[in-house]
Amino acid sequence: MTDHILTLLTLLPLIGGIIVVGVKDKQLARRFALGFSFLSLALTHALWKSFDAANGGLQFVERADWIPSLGVQYFVGVDGLGLLMVLLTAIVVPMALLVSGRVSERVQLYHGLVLFLQAGLFGTFTALNFFHWFMFWELSLIPAFFLVRLWGGPQRAPAATQFFIYTMVGSVAMLLAFLAIFLATSKPGVAGVFDFIELGKLAARGELNPALVSKLGWFDLTGRQLATVIFGGVLLGFAVKVPLMPFHTWLPATYAEAPSPVTMLLTGVMSKMGVYGFLRILLPIFPEQIQWLRTPLLGLAVVTIVFSACAAFAQRDLKRMLAYSSINHLGYCLLGVFAVATAGVNVVAPAVEKAAALNGVLLQMFNHGLTAATLFMFMGFLEQRSGGLRGLHDFGGLRKIAPVFCGLMGIALFSSLGLPGLNGFVGEFLIFKGVFPLAPWAASLSVIGILVTAIFILTILQRVFNGPLNEKWSKFPDLTPGEIGLLLIPIALMFVLGLYPRLVLDVINPTAVQMVEQLKF
């Protein structure tokens, strides 16, 4: 049953998108799209149940020669990291489709693009050869651009264009870097290496840098300098996607102008592609470069955490506040990744602390995706009820007339804050638990971000839900039974993962431990 499950999982939404685009009836197109997304969720559940949690290596591997002359193989597989991201994708996509009922124009195209985006995400999180991994990486960009450009708000055109240009520049830089690696690893009669796993082994054996010098030798650069230049190209591609400051300026406008269901996909899953790239590609292939540059990289992570929290506090548009909050939370993931690259000379048990940090990063990726998608779902409900208003000062006292709405959204906000007992707490705790011994200065400064996050989230609760009721909203409707039903699963998961994180940690910990063991330091 699991022989070709990853291929089937990727093809299912791709085929579904083609079928949905060709359906004439709008309601039938919606049902088909939901059906294919739930089939993907069921298949992912089977994948999760069949996964050997004690094995931190790759599983469900499929490998076949595709273009042997170019060293291109069809190579897919998942470990704890890939499986967790596949599960997150399978959960968030149907959530977004279920709240896409207000889309009334080009319904078939909209739902088809969402399924194409899901196929690109599945492929990105399972492909292990750069050639077809990059195809999926770009496949996710194209439908996301059109979803923002065709169904977004008044400023959708410049927002979508900025999003496309930023991510495309990053993709081009990454493509050029991997072409250089391909040329450097080629031998007479033997194609270069595109295989992520093999490139990681070359880097671990110290063979990659000498190959770069002997085959490329640009401008008399040393091996260290040349590898750093190529590392910079790959770093740019992932830094834009996360985003790492100062490559973040596309995100607030894109999240604010995109329809709320599309923003759920952007923040819930697409933003995790960048962090996934740091873990799957940058850390194994360029460990020395990350270690050499760890201080400025840690500094950028701290800036991303603190400045994005301050920027969120300064906003008056609720969507923009949550957009900057998303940057803040992903900054913690990058803090953990960069801290793992430190030698930990004066740390009592560096391997244990690094494993804790990586466990926290993986858990934070999943928890943030779930929580952020749920918060933007609430934003969609709020915009529907207010005629598109979403200003911090547009509301007030909503708790008195919509207690269920405010109560459930309050849970999601406290999850984002990292309240103990909810899912957001465990990932951040493990990240700081690992980072404090490895990079105490970075961890100490990053705590400022937690304090500012608490301030702006409490500000949202005070301004929107509490205080005197704005008479304009005296007939503000509470959540319907159908909307409550949509929210019950993500809200329940916030409590389950907050109280019993072992449900996920048992799956990802062997992978985190193996990643630490594979590092050269």
Within 10 angstroms of residue 63's Cβ, the number of other Cβ atoms is 13
Predicted confidence at residue 325, as pLDDT, reads 92
Tell me the per-residue pLDDT of 492-518, one tens digit each, with 9 for 90 and over: 999 999 999 999 999 999 999 999 988
Predicted confidence at residue 453, as pLDDT, reads 93
CA 132 to chain centre: 20
Domain boundaries, the chain: 293-521
Sign for the CA dihedral angle at 314, 303, 356, 348 comes to negative
Q: Is the pLDDT of residue 213 over 80?
A: no
Share of the chain above pLDDT 70, in %: 98
Q: Are 30 and 68 in contact (CB under 8 A)?
A: no
Q: How is 346-368 classified by DSSP, letter by letter?
A: T-SSHHHHHHHHHHHHHHHHHHH
pLDDT band at 114 (very low <50, low <70, confident <90, very high): very high
Q: Is the pLDDT of residue 288 over 80?
A: yes
Of 205, 250, 211, residue with least CA distance to 230: 211
Paired strand residues for 511:
none
Q: How is 62-86 classified by DSSP, letter by letter?
A: EEEEEEGGGTEEEEEEE-HHHHHHH
DSSP secondary structure letter of residue 129 = B
Share of the chain above pLDDT 90, in %: 65
Q: Is the pLDDT of residue 215 over 80?
A: no
Alpha-carbon span 272 to 266, nearest angstrom: 9
DSSP secondary structure letter of residue 59 = E
Predicted confidence at residue 133, as pLDDT, reads 93
pLDDT band at 521 (very low <50, low <70, confident <90, very high): low
Predicted confidence at residue 2, as pLDDT, reads 64
Q: Is the pLDDT of residue 1 over 60?
A: no
Predicted confidence at residue 520, as pLDDT, reads 64
Per-residue pLDDT, averaged over 169-194, amounts to: 85
Tell me the per-residue pLDDT of 341-385, one tens digit each, with 9 for 90 and over: 876 667 777 888 999 999 999 999 999 999 999 999 999 999 999
Whose structure tokens read 């709320």? 260
Name residues whose C-beta falls within 8 Å of residue 297's C-beta, 6 or more positions apart in sequence: 290, 334, 338, 341
Q: Are 34 and 94 in contact (CB under 8 A)?
A: yes
C-alpha distances (whole Å) from 76 to each of 3, 83, 196, 199, 286 are 12, 12, 11, 15, 21
Lowest mean pLDDT among 87-101, 304-318, 338-352: 338-352
- Tokens linked to 472: 């304009």
Average pLDDT in the chain: 90
Burial class (CB in 10 A: 0-12, 13-18, 19+), 170: buried
pLDDT band at 90 (very low <50, low <70, confident <90, very high): very high
Q: Is the pLDDT of residue 161 over 70?
A: yes
Predicted confidence at residue 506, as pLDDT, reads 93
